[in-house]
Amino acid sequence: MVEPAVALFGEAYERAARVLEELLRESGARYTLLLDRKGFVLVHKEALWAPKPPALDSLATLIAGNAAATQALARMLGEPRFNELLHQGSAHGLYVEEVGELALLVVIFDSSAPVGRVKLYGKRAAQVLESITQEAVVNPGTLGIDSEYRDGANALLDELFGN
Amino acid sequence: MSTINFAAREINFKIVYYGPGMSGKTTNLKWVFQQIPQNRKGEMVSLATEDERTLFFDFLPVDLGEVKGFKTRFHLYTVPGQVFYNASRKLILRGVDGIVFVADSAPNRLRANAESMRNLRENLAEYGIKLEDIPIVLQANKRDTPDALPVEMIQAVIDPERRFPIFEAVATTGMGVFETLKAVSREVLSRVASS
Ligand SMILES: Nc1nc2c(ncn2[C@@H]2O[C@H](COP(=O)(O)OP(=O)(O)OP(=O)(O)O)[C@@H](O)[C@H]2O)c(=O)[nH]1
Ligand SMILES: [Mg+2]
Q: Which domain holds residue A41?
A: 10-161
Name the residue of B17, B27, B32 to mutate for ligand 1: max ligand atoms within 8 A of Cβ.
B27
Smallest CA–CA distance, residue A28 to chain B, in Å, is 25
Exposed / middle / buried, residue B147 (Cβ in 10 Å: 0-12, 13-18, 19+): exposed
Question: Is ligand 1 within 6 A of the CB of residue B53?
Answer: yes
| Weakest mean pLDDT among A146-150, A154-158, B3-7, B143-147 | B3-7
**Is residue B175 less than 8 Å (CB to CB) from chain A?**
no
pLDDT of residue A18 exceeding 60: yes
- Which of the ligands is closest to the CA of residue B19? 1
Q: Are strands B136-141 and B166-168 parallel, antiparallel or unpaired?
A: parallel
Cα-Cα-Cα-Cα dihedral sign, residues B171, B22, B126, A127:
negative
Below-50 pLDDT ranges, chain B? none
pLDDT of res. B68: 86
Q: What domain count does chain A have?
A: 1
| Weakest mean pLDDT among A27-36, A39-48, A80-89, B82-91 | A80-89
pLDDT of res. A142: 53
**How far apart are the C-alpha atoms of A115 and A138, rounded to whole Å?**
35
**How far apart are the C-alpha atoms of B52 and B69, rounded to whole Å?**
39
8 Å CB contact between B32 and B50: no
Question: Is ligand 1 within 6 A of the CB of residue B136?
Answer: no
From residue A26, give the alpha-carbon distance in Å to each of A1, A84, A119.
38, 19, 11
CATH number of A35's domain: 3.30.450.30
**Is residue B1 less than 8 Å (CB to CB) from chain A?**
yes
**How far apart are the C-alpha atoms of B71 and B63, rounded to whole Å?**
8
**How far apart are the C-alpha atoms of B143 and A23, rounded to whole Å?**
54
The mean predicted confidence, pLDDT, of chain B is 93
pLDDT of res. A2: 42
The pTM score is 0.89
pLDDT of res. A45: 96
Instruction: Give me the interface pTM, i.e. the ipTM.
Output: 0.85
Question: Is ligand 1 within 6 A of the CB of residue B180?
Answer: no
CATH architecture of B3-194: 3-Layer(aba) Sandwich (3.40)
A14 domain residue, yes or no: yes
Question: Is ligand 1 within 6 A of the CB of residue B177?
Answer: no
First to last CA, chain A: 29
Task: Give me the DSSP letters along chain B.
Answer: --EEETTTTEEEEEEEEE-STTSSHHHHHHHHHHHS-GGGB---EEEE-TTS-EEEEEEEEEEEEEETTEEEEEEEEE---SGGGHHHHHHHTTT--EEEEEEE-SGGGHHHHHHHHHHHHHHHHHTT--GGGS-EEEEEE-TTSTTPPPHHHHHHHH-TT--S-EEE-BTTTTBTHHHHHHHHHHHHHHHHHH-
Q: For chain A, what percent of residues have pLDDT higher than 90? A: 56
**How far apart are the C-alpha atoms of B185 and B170, rounded to whole Å?**
20
CB-closest option in A3, A36, A69 to B91? A69
**How far apart are the C-alpha atoms of B169 and B144, rounded to whole Å?**
8
Q: For chain A, what percent of residues have pLDDT higher than 70? A: 92
A18 domain residue, yes or no: yes
